[in-house]
Amino acid sequence: MKKDTPFQMDRDNADSSTWYLPDGAIARLGKGNVMDMVLSPDGALLAIGSYLGLWWYDVPNRSLLTLWEAGKTITTVAFSACGEWVATGGWGASIKIWDVKRGNCLAELARDKSGYATDIVFSSDRKRLVVGGSTRYSNPEKKLYCSVEVWQLPENLQESNATARPEREAIYVGTNPLALSRDNRLLAFASPDGVPEPFHTTGYPVIDGRWILASNSVVVYEMATGQHLVTLDGLNDVSSIAFSPSGKFLAACDWKGTTHVWEVPEQLSPETPSWHLHKVYQAVDDNGSHYISYTPESRLLTTVYAYRDDTFSVQDLENSEILYRHPKETGYYHPDFSNGVRLAYESEYDVHIWVAGENRPISLEHTTGIFPGSLQFSLDSKTLLANSGYGGIFSWDVTHPDDPPRIFKPLGMKPDTDGSSGERYLSVDASPEGKHFVTSGDADEKNIRLWEFGSDVPIVTFPLQDEPSTAAFSPAANLLACRDETDSIHIWDITTGETYDTYTGEETDNAPYLTFSRDGAFLVCAPSQIYDVAERKTVDQFSSDDGFDFLAFSPDPLRIWCDFPAFDNKTIDLWDFREDKEVLSLPKPKWWQTKAINAFALSACGQYLACSPYTWTDEERVCVWDIRKGNEPIVTFALTERLECLAFSPDNTLLAGACSTGTLLLWDLKPFINS
C-alpha cells in the first residue's frame, strides 16, 4: 500500500494492522519496538522511529497518519528548525533527508554499513546536518565505529530539479550525544575513552577490542574552522548535552544524573586552557536515566526516569522543583524534550506528550514492541497471549487486531536494585479446559509464582535458592517446574505444596526452556534433556553433544519432534524415544538444509507443523506441513523479518509468529488446510 502524501489517510485501508504486510499475512499486532521519537517544532506532528519503520501521528487530533520506510529499522529521527524537513538514520543504512509535506526523499548521505546513526541534528539555519554515527556496542567484527560527521546542505535541496548535493565537510572521532549552539558556531559531542585506531579504509574512525563504549568527556569544536577548542572532563558516561539559548553556557549530564554547566568564553580559541565550570547539579536520583534541556527562558530542566520506583518526571534543576510527574508507573523508553517546552515519551501501550504548564498529557495509543518467549492461543482461537519477560503477559483479540492488548502484570513495576522490573513472567500454559496459567519469578526475592490469567492473587508461591531462568506448569499433573541460574531444576506438587523432585539440568550455551508433555508424563529441558515424571529420573539416551535438539512433544508423549543439526541437517524427525527409532522424517526444503531451525510449532491435533530456519538475515520464510500429505510443505510464507517463535490456533485456522521487529504476524491457514 503506497500513499501519495504522508498525512492524508487512505480511508479505504484505515486499519494500520494491515499496512505493509509480508505476502500471505493477514494482520500485524503492535507497531514495533521504538528506537527514537521526536516532535515537530510546532508540536503538531510526532515521528516515531521503530524496528518496523517511521510512524507518523497527528498530535492535536490524536490520530495515526501513516508509516514510512516500512520494513526498515529507523534508529534516529530529527526535524529541521522550521519542521519542513525530517532526517532519518538506521542500522547500516544511509541518512535520508525528507520533505515532510510531500513525503519524498530529498537526499541520501552514504555511510559505512558496519555502523549506524545514533544522533542527528540540523543547524538552525538549515545549512548543515550533523550525524553521530557511532554505536555503543560492537559489530560482528568487534569494531566500534565512533564518528561524528558534518554535512553541508545546498540551498536548493528542496527543489525537485536540484543539482547540488550534500557534501561531507568534516569527520571527527566521537559519539552520541551531540549538540549545536543556537548560533551554529559550536559543535559539542561525547568523546569515547581509549585511543582510536587510524581511520578505517572507508574513512571512519574505529575503536577496537571493547564491547561497550564509555564516554566520560565532552569535546567542543568550532564549526567554521573545524578546530578543537576544549575537552571537558569530570563526567561519568555522558547521556545528554545542551547549549543555553543565549550560547553563554554548555551543560552536560551523565548517566549518574550529575549535571555540569560551563561558561562559554566570549573569545573562542584553542589556546584557551579550560572553560570555567559555572555550576554542578548533583544527581537528582541515585539510580535512573536523565536527559537535560534548556527552556527558551534558559531554565535548565531534566527528565528523570527513576529505576527505584519506575517513575518518570520533569524537574527544574535550579529550584529542585518537580514540574511534572507521570501519574502511573512507566518503563524507560525514548523521551524527546523539544527545547524544554514539549516532552514526548512512551509507556506500555501509549505515547504521551506533555506541554510545559499543563497538568495532563496528550496520550496516543501506540503499543510498544515486545519480544515474547512463547505464544499461546485461547481455546476459541480468538485471543493470542504472549509472555514478554518483565513486560508481563500481552493478550490480543485477534478478531480486532487494531485494538490495544490487555496486559497481565498483577504486581506492576516492582522496584529493585538493578534497573529492571523485579517480576519476570516466564511462561503461559493452557489446560485442556482452556484456562491459562502464568508462571513468574523474582530475581531479588528468589521465588516462583503461579497465577491463573486475570487473577491478581497467585495460586501458589515457592521459594528458590537462586534466580529463576525459565519455568513451566503442567495442569494435567498439577506440577510446577522451574530452572534456576545454577542449572538446578525444581519441581513442586501444587496440590500438596511439597517439593516433588530436584535434579540438575544439562549445561547449554543456548537459552534453555522447560515444557511438559500434554499429559504431564514427561518434562523436557531444551535443547535435549528429557525427564520421566513418574520415574523421577532423566531419560539418558539423548544429549546435545550428540547433535540432538528437541522441538516439541507430539500428542503421543512418547514421540517427539526433533532436529539433528550437528549431523543430518536435511530432515525434521518424529522420534519414538522409548523404542529409540525414527517414526517419520520430513525433508527440509533444499534452500535451508544447511541452516538450523529457528522457530517451530505443532498444532494441537499433531497434524500440522510450522517452522522457519535461522538465516542470520531478515529474509526468512516459514513453511507449513500437513504430515498426512507427504514431504512437501502445503504453503510457504515469505518474511521480511526474523521469526522468534510460532503458534497454531486450536482450530488450526491461524498461525501466529513473533518477529524480530517486536510485532506479531497472523496468517490465515484455511485456504491450505481445506484444500
Domain boundaries, the chain: 76-283, 295-368
What pLDDT, on the 0 to 100 scale, is given for residue 359?
79
Residue 279 pLDDT class (50, 70, 90 cuts): very high
Mean pLDDT of 235-255: 93
Model confidence pLDDT, tens digit, residues 359-375: 788 989 888 788 888 99
Give the Cα separation of 224 and 215 in Å (integer): 25
Mean pLDDT of 223-239: 91
For residue 137, what is the DSSP state?
B
CATH class of the structural domain 76-283: mainly beta
pTM of the predicted model as reported, rounded to 2 decimal places:
0.90
Model confidence pLDDT, tens digit, residues 473-526: 999 999 999 999 888 999 999 999 999 999 998 877 667 789 999 999 999 987
Model confidence pLDDT, tens digit, residues 319-359: 889 888 887 766 555 678 877 888 888 877 788 898 988 87
* Cβ–Cβ < 8 Å for 97, 129: yes
What pLDDT, on the 0 to 100 scale, is given for residue 3?
37
614: its cell numbers: 535461522
- Paired sense of beta strands 529-532 and 537-539, if any: antiparallel
- The secondary structure of 580-617 as a DSSP string is TEEEEEEEPPGGGTTS-EEEEEE-TTSSEEEEEE--SS
233: its cell numbers: 572532563
- The secondary structure of 198-228 as a DSSP string is SPPTTS--EEES-SB----EEEEEETTT--E
Q: Is 123 exposed, middle or buried (0-12, 13-18, 19+ CB in 10 A)?
A: buried
